[in-house]
Amino acid sequence: MSEPEHERHDPFGGEHLIDDLAGFQPRGEGESRPRPDIDELEALAAASGFADRRPGRPRTVKEPTKTLQFRLPESLVDAFHEAAYAEFGPKHGAKTGLFLKLWTAYQESKTGEC
Amino acid sequence: MPTISFIQPKGGAGKSTSALILALELAKGASTALIDADPNAPIVKWHARGGRADNLTIIEADRERSIFDQIEDAERQTAFVVVDTEGVADLRAAHAISASDLVIVPSQGSALDQDNAARAIKLITDQERPMRRTIPHAVLLTRVSAAIQSRGLKAAEQQLVEHGVDLFDTRLIEREAFKAMFSFNTTLDDLGPEDVSGLERARDNAMAFTAEVVQRLKTLSGQGEAAAGRRAEDVRAGA
């Protein structure tokens, strides 16, 4: 079914491409790729909606969220924001992260009292 | 040694076709492994039904084993590794990205494809900081009409450029010959003019796409190393 190679139109120069390809070699035995931190990678993926879909794996069911809203003195709110950014970086979820950290510490302190 | 992954969390964008086209062209000049990480296994089925080429190894990804390990194993055996992933937002795509030298995001240019391409690109760029390196990526417009350029495609292309998304100069045209590779479980080179129309144009298109991929890889590994290093510094610095 195939036709002779020389009859093919080659817009980029097939020989050059073949030469270029020959310059690539398999990875050497001693060489390895830098490995990602799997937990961090999977957290990033999950945040973007990329889930573990392998059969038999438990699907993470997200609990519905509610808004928690209250008023505090402005200086206290500003200080909280600054602490959140310092702790978690200037990204979405920093304030929630700091609140959950404080909440966890509070829960642990209660457990320690018992 | 380079690993090229095709990521698009939406089906039907031409991922498997693009991956097969690239792998077949690369295999003409260097040993190439094509890892099929799609549970629907379109490439594995193509191979099982008789599709094959010299220098090309088809690997069915083991879903219970890290795709990172499977890519690394393949990199020790072949000069190029091409990874086709599932057309859903799957965690394995994230793992494949982390092990890739180039990520290709196929998109038909429709609004839905663009939205999902944006999701894939966000995941790629999000991974650059923890990986402490840039992860080169570009959108490949696929299944483009040979006859007319739709307003939707023009708008999509403009949108990508405005958002600073790297775009392949080559577009994969919607060609009967590309579909025929799967219909007849064969390669473009083993098809004849009596099998499909526009075969020469399909071959030219496949070669142009491959040449562009190889040029990008050469730039990244060679003369582009310094620039890539500078970009990596920027990523680390949070620029």
Is A112 part of any domain?
Answer: yes
Give the up-direction half-sphere exposure of residue B158: CA atoms within 13 A in the CB hemisphere. 7
Residue B190 near chain A (CB below 8 Å): yes
pTM: 0.76
Of B100, B108, B75, the residue nearest B8 (C-alpha): B108
Residue B192 near chain A (CB below 8 Å): yes
Is A90 part of any domain?
Answer: yes
Is A19 part of any domain?
Answer: no
What residue ranges do the domains of chain B occupy?
A: 3-237
Indicate the residue of B77, B86, B91 with minimum beta-carbon distance to A42: B91
Give the SS3 label for residue B6. Answer: strand
Q: What is the DSSP letter of B144?
A: B
Count the domains in chain A. 1
Residue B99 near chain A (CB below 8 Å): yes
Give per-residue pLDDT as tens, B46-55. Answer: 999 999 999 9
pLDDT bracket for residue B237 (50, 70, 90): low
pLDDT bracket for residue B228 (50, 70, 90): very low
- Smallest CA–CA distance, residue A15 to chain B, in Å, is 9
In this predicted structure, the answer to whether residue B11 has a pLDDT above a threshold of 70 is: yes
Position A78: which residue type? D
CA B115 to mean position of chain CA atoms: 18
Mean pLDDT for chain B overall: 89
**Is 0.85 exceeded by the ipTM?**
no
Name chain B contacts of A17, Cβ cutoff 8 Å: 25, 29, 207, 210-211, 214
Is A43 part of any domain?
Answer: no
Superfamily for domain range B3-237: P-loop containing nucleotide triphosphate hydrolases (3.40.50.300)
Contact B119 A48 (CB under 8 A): yes
Q: Which of A32 and B170 is assigned the larger pLDDT?
A: B170
- Return the exposure string of B179-214: e unless at least 16 CB atoms fall within 10 Å of the residue's CB, then b: ebbbebbbbbbbbeeeebebbeebbbbbbbbbbbbb
- Domain extent, residue A87, equals 70-114
- Smallest CA–CA distance, residue B171 to chain A, in Å, is 14
Is A114 part of any domain?
Answer: yes
The pLDDT of residue A48 is: 78
Please name the residue of chain A whose CA is at the shortest distance from the CA of residue B99.
Answer: A33
Contact A12 B131 (CB under 8 A): no
The DSSP element (H or E) to which B27 belongs, if any, is none
- Smallest CA–CA distance, residue A29 to chain B, in Å, is 7
pLDDT bracket for residue A57 (50, 70, 90): low
Residue B122 near chain A (CB below 8 Å): yes
Token pair, residue A77, equals: 């709110």
**What percent of chain A has pLDDT above 70?**
74
In this predicted structure, the answer to whether residue B148 has a pLDDT above a threshold of 50 is: yes
Of B165, B171, B152, B161, the residue nearest B111 (C-alpha): B152
In this predicted structure, the answer to whether residue B224 has a pLDDT above a threshold of 70 is: no
Lowest mean pLDDT among A84-88, B41-45, B221-225, B228-232: B228-232
Is A106 part of any domain?
Answer: yes
Indicate the residue of A2, A10, A26 with minimum beta-carbon distance to B78: A26
pLDDT bracket for residue B137 (50, 70, 90): very high
In this predicted structure, the answer to whether residue B236 has a pLDDT above a threshold of 70 is: no
Is A75 part of any domain?
Answer: yes
Which one of A8, A18, A21, A85 would you mutate to disrupt binding with B, by most B Cβ within 10 Å of its Cβ? A21
Give per-residue pLDDT as tens, A73-112. Answer: 999 999 999 999 888 877 677 888 899 899 988 988 887 6
Report the distance separating Cα B26 and Cα B5, nearest Å. Answer: 14
